[in-house]
Structures are given as structure tokens and as C-alpha cells.
Amino acid sequence: MVHFGDREKEICTALILNERMAFWSMTVDDLYDAAMKNTPRLLPDTFTGMDEMIRKIFLQEEYDDIIEKDAEVGPSLFYVLTNQLGIFGAACLLYPGAVKSMPMS
């Protein structure tokens, strides 16, 4: 995909078809190398505790209805690896060193 930019958690992408690769005189390997270089720079990875991720997904009032406001929360047992936009986060598994920098490793 081509990343055209983003604004406030919206992102515009386009699928790269074989015809476009030919037009650009690029191979699959060229695109892979460009993606490995540019994606971590444009969409840096982040590890977030599952509890914090749930807070971000739900509105604060809804979260407060589920979890007591004064409940003491210990360190997260589960973490979410994603990028700073929170979309296409599975690609972060390919970032050099991302898995090694996980909080529990």
C-alpha cells in the first residue's frame, strides 16, 4: 500500500498493483525494501498495556462503568503492539527489533 498521509487518525492508502510496479520500474523486492525502511519511520511502533488500550477504545465514562474508578491496577499482563495510529498494527511485527523491545522480554 502507498501511504498518502494522515490527519487525526484518518489515513489514506492505495493498493499497489502489478501495473503500478511496472510503471515505477520496481520489483516486489524493491517495494519490500522501501516498506521496511519507511513504515517504521512513518508509523512508529508502540506497546500499550491491554488496560490502557481498553481505556482508549471505550469512552472514559463507559470504562468507568466497567472498572471501579479507584480500583488499583497492577502492571499489565497483556500488551498490544501497534503503531501510533493504531491501524495495520500487525505490520509492526516486521519492524527490526520491535519484538525484542517488548516490555516483557
Q: Give per-residue pLDDT as tens, 51-64.
A: 777 777 776 666 56
- Distance between CA atoms of residues 37 and 43, nearest Å: 11
Higher-confidence residue: 16 or 98?
16
Q: Are 43 and 83 in contact (CB under 8 A)?
A: yes
User: 47 vs 15, 65, 71, 80, 83, CA distance in Å?
Assistant: 27, 25, 23, 6, 8
Average pLDDT value for the chain: 78
pLDDT single digits (tens) 31-87: 999 989 988 988 899 888 887 777 777 766 665 666 655 556 566 778 888 888 877
